[in-house]
A and B are shown apart, each in its own frame.
Chain A
Amino acid sequence: MPLKIALAGNPNSGKTTLFNVLTGSNQFVGNWPGVTVEKKEGRLRHEKEITITDLPGIYSLSPYTLEEVITRQYLLEEHPDVILNIVDASNLERNLFLTTQLLELGIPVVVALNMMDVVEKNGDVIDTAALSKLLGCSVVTISALKSKGISALIQTIKEDGTARSVTPPHRFDDTVEQALEQIAAHLPPTVKASQARFYTIKLFERDSKLPSSFEPVLRACEPIIESVETALDDDAESIITAGRYLFLTSEIARCYRKKTQKKHSTSDKIDRIVTNRFAALPIFAVIMFLVYFISVTTVGTFVTDWTNDGLFGEGFHLFGIGAGEYETAVEAFEADPTLEEPSASDYGIWVNGIPVLLENGLDAINTAPWLKDLILNGIVAGVGAVLGFVPQMLVLFFLLAFLESCGYMARIAFILDRIFRKFGLSGKSFIPMLIGTGCGVPGIMASRTIENERDRKMTIMTTTFIPCSAKLPIIAMIAGALFGGAWWVAPSAYFVGIAAIITSGILLKKTKLFSGDPAPFVMELPAYHWPTVRNILSSMWERGWSFIKKAGTVILLSSIFIWFTSTYGIENGQFAAVSENSNSFIAMIGSVFAWIFAPLGFGTWQSAVAAINGLVAKENVVNTFGILYGFAEVAEDGAEFWSRLAADFTVVSAYAFLVFNLLCAPCFAAIGAIKREMNSAKWTFIAIGYQTIFAYAVALCINQIGSLILFGTFSVFTVVAFLIVAAFLWLLLRPAKQSERVRLKGASNA
């Protein structure tokens, strides 16, 4: 029998675990239409005609958060057969608060009491039969973690799914009930009888997300609502909310027998240390160091190097067999060049990399040279460079999933909220930025842990301002070529990055894009618990795979574009594969854009091409200069052409060039990650556009004002620079509008 189940419940109630247990691998991850909130659907294991939709984790059906509105709309419009409401038995009151609202929707509800083991361990007893009678719906005890009680749960869902009518479980205060009766009489005839209770209560609450057709009804009911508000000296919304909790507190005592309170649970003990006044920040620093060290420095780099140099490079020694002998042979060869150069494939078990295998394959079928070049140097090189990040990302996602599901992530927000909220960011924004110092791609992906959409978007937009490891060669090049390797250049780059994040946060917070009611920071701090390996792995894989899918297309197309424009051009009046770099299409594009960079102090086509190539990967900026200055191969920091660079740049324009490349649009891989996380072309363009304009403005100011101070040069652009500084200061210091007003209203009432 086909059945549609909607899975609803509080965050941290074990909802994801239950969903995984019920569906196994039959899951489809997508997004709710038009928003960045994730939507998961699946089919029941062994019973494919039963589908489950995992609704966002919510505490209530209020009209104020996106997740709650999505859930309401789904439940009202998609008519699932059953609502499977997962309830954390160790936190009954608050969890059942949502249940009281779900029961009013006219859909059969099955309550799955999860985490009963915790309740039993505490010596408490829950009378499920009494609870079922109290709520007027079926109650089944389960353990999602241990897959216990699942078959009984499915059986109950099937029985209740055959459309059993649900009577609203509880009555409010008599005054309220009388008012609700009067309002019900005004309901438009289009409202289904089963949904009448829900709409009546929502009308009483003056819910802002009611369809516009309800407006005349609401006007008619206004006197009824006001009379109740006067009688009970509170607003309607508070009366209903308090009424639900009042019902729960008074009735639950009958089915929940609590043993005398234990002194401190293990979770309390952990929390005493972890968020302790003095220990919290040092512990946080150590945990962050470990996350960074494991995902970026050690395991991540090791696997990424293997992917880049081995799998997508020449090849690798299987399990390292023969690698040692080969190293010795290379050392011998370097010491004595008369020896024959050793070949890696002669030692141990050598596995060829994908490009080598492909090249052999393409040669074998006589592929045209241009096609071979496109596949090897365009597609495989471009996509391979990006896929190289995947292992590192998986390691990071594994650690993040662990921090999230054990409960520490919520504490990070708790510890750091004070600093970050000043810049319109969340305490959790710290992690993306820290990871961003290694690589912006996993950094952006790490923003997934931020629940609030506005904070998340802001974090995505600003994370890549932090210099990632690929930008270090640019810093080394500029520092070496023009500043004599001065020690302060590198730290100043990080300082510029941090300053860019802080100022952008303050500036963007006040714009229309991010204005509105301040996001409430009223957050549950879930009890610490040991997560399951299965959940961590599935969360890791889900995020990694979504990056490969979504970011992959952006990267593929852009890699082909850059390959084409730099390989081909017009030579001797004809379209051809170019022998001189200056004849390629990319050089033409560079020349077209060069004038734009003139006010920044580097209006040469070489600099423009370097900046464009930086979009493929930031370290390419150095290589590009090498190629354009006529060096076949250069060191990572480009030491060979420093003198050429010193002739083309001044200290000021070089620093402007550095800052522009640090702050402008990130590499395609990171743009792909932004696209994935924003899930919107519009927001991706806003992010990239903002970064590039911001970088341009800052670089222009550095060059113009720097030149004025150091060389006394003055031009129309010097004036522009001062205007930008003035505008910037105004944007930074102007008062915020809406977000403050809400708070003031609250204060004046008090």
Chain B
Amino acid sequence: MKTLKETKTGESAIVQKLHGTGAIKRRIMDMGITKGVSVFVRKVAPLGDPMEVTVRGYELSLRKADAEMIEVE
């Protein structure tokens, strides 16, 4: 199983499933990361975390620990 965390900078991935529960999961979904959407990994912050992705035409930053809950293909 591959997660968004493991997706390399400059690569796109399709979201398969979201793990986790509660506030964080809902927040990730509310921001547009839902099943079937394409996510492009733009860059990683200078200190190695968080990461910046493009989803639904805008830029979003999320921590790697949270990106680990997003299963992609």
Contacts and interface: CB of A to CB of B under 8 A. Distances in A.
Interface string B1-38: 10100000000000001111111111111111011110
Contacts of A414: 45, 50, 52, 61
Contacts of A278: 46
A743 B65 contact: yes
A271 B58 CA distance: 13
Given A414-B45, A418-B48, A94 B31 contact: yes
A275 B50 contact: no
Given A94-B32, A520-B24, A522-B31, A280 B46 contact: yes
A92 B60 CA distance: 15
Nearest to A417: B50
B54 to A, nearest CB: 10
Interface residues of A, number: 51
A418 B45 contact: yes
Given A59-B31, A525-B61, A743-B65, A418 B50 contact: yes
Nearest to A407: B59
A191 interface: no
Interface in A507-544: 517-518, 520-527
Contact of B47 (A65, A93, A419): A419
Given A241-B26, A242-B34, A522-B66, A417 B46 contact: no
A524 B20 contact: no
B59 A418 contact: no
Contacts, number: 148
Given A418-B50, A525-B59, A742 B24 contact: yes
A176 to B, nearest CB: 14
A94 B23 contact: no
A91 B60 contact: no
Interface string B53-73: 000111111110110110100
A524 B30 CA distance: 12
B3 to A, nearest CB: 8
B27 A275 contact: no
A626 B22 CA distance: 59
A745 B27 contact: no
Interface string A55-99: 000011010110000000000000000000000001111100100
B29 A242 contact: yes
Contact of A94 (B20, B56, B66): B56
B29 A747 contact: no
Contacts of B62: 521-523
A278 B47 CA distance: 10
Contact of B27 (A62, A93, A410): A62
B21 to A, nearest CB: 6
Contacts of A415: 45-47
Interface of B: 1, 3, 17-32, 34-37, 43-50, 52, 56-63, 65-66, 68-69, 71
